[in-house]
Structure 1
Amino acid sequence: MSVFASRLKEIRKKNRMTMPELGRRIGVAKSTIAGYENGDREPSLRIVASIARVCNVSSDYLLGLTDLLDPAPKKTVRPAGGFHWKGEPLTEEELELVLSLLQKTQTSAGTDAGPKALPK
């Protein structure tokens, strides 16, 4: 079994997705996912990128080029003056609340775009 095949199966299960669910989310049939996981089929670069995005891992990880799930951590740069609402600076607790609301919105919208974490 190829590195891609074993890592795809591992990461799909880690994300608690069935083959049909992953297939639906990336636009391929369940049988195609099964072929990838069995090593009978090779995905296009577009499909590798889609799988990485949906499963929240790097394509390098899926392809066996690294053992790090996400070697390029994403971060949000804070403005020099901090974040404000109605002219008042937000506290750390308020920033965490905003971040959690953004993450819930992204999850319900089915997207992973936008900030992932605020640097400390």
Structure 2
Amino acid sequence: MTLEHFSDRLKATRKSKNLTQADLAHKLNIVTGTVSSYEQGLKYPSIEVLVNICQVLEISADFLLGVSDNFSLKMGGLTEEQEQPFLQILSIVEQYNILKETNNK
């Protein structure tokens, strides 16, 4: 597990729910800059905020933290076939970040 999974998956999931950073921040009772920091990997939420993020976005913490590739608890009624493009996009983003990190070393 890398914390990059968290940033990428948070952003991708937020966007898949058609939420802005401000929308998510409002639902979590935090400031927009905090959501931005999470998505940039500059800081990470407390356990309490992580639980709230999972509830608001209807996803599992395991997915958000990169422990599992099981996308979510609820995908808004999408079938497994409809979920696949989201999973493929996330996989591509994760691979890109791994390559980027490797090249920066």
Band the TM-score falls in, shorter-chain normalisation: 0.5 to 0.7
Q: Compare CA radii of gyration and give the structure with the larger one.
A: 1
Partner of 1:13: 15
For the aligned residue pairs, the C-alpha RMSD in angstroms reads 1.6
Q: Given the two structures, how large is their TM-score scaled by the length of structure 1?
A: 0.57
Secondary structure of residue in 1 paired with 2:69: coil
Moved over 6 A (4+): none
Which residues of structure 2 form unaligned runs of 5+?
Answer: 75-105
Give the letter for the 1:60 counterpart. Answer: D
Give the letter for the 1:64 counterpart. Answer: G
Higher helix fraction (1 or 2): 2
Note if 1:68 corresponds to 2:60: no
More RCO (CA 8 Å, sep 6+): 2
Report how far residue 69 of structure 1 moved: 2.0
Which residues of structure 1 form unaligned runs of 5+?
Answer: 74-120
Partner of 1:103: none
Partner of 2:36: 34
Q: Given the two structures, how large is their TM-score scaled by the length of structure 2?
A: 0.65
Give the letter for the 2:65 counterpart. Answer: L
TM-superposition CA deviations, 1:43-100 (whole Å, max 9, x none): 11111111110001101110111000236x8xxxxxxxxxxxxxxxxxxxxxxxxxxx
Report how far residue 27 of structure 1 moved: 1.1
Partner of 2:52: 50
The partner residue of 1:22 within 21, 24, 29 is 24
Partner of 1:118: none
Q: How many residues align?
A: 72
Give the letter for the 1:61 counterpart. Answer: F
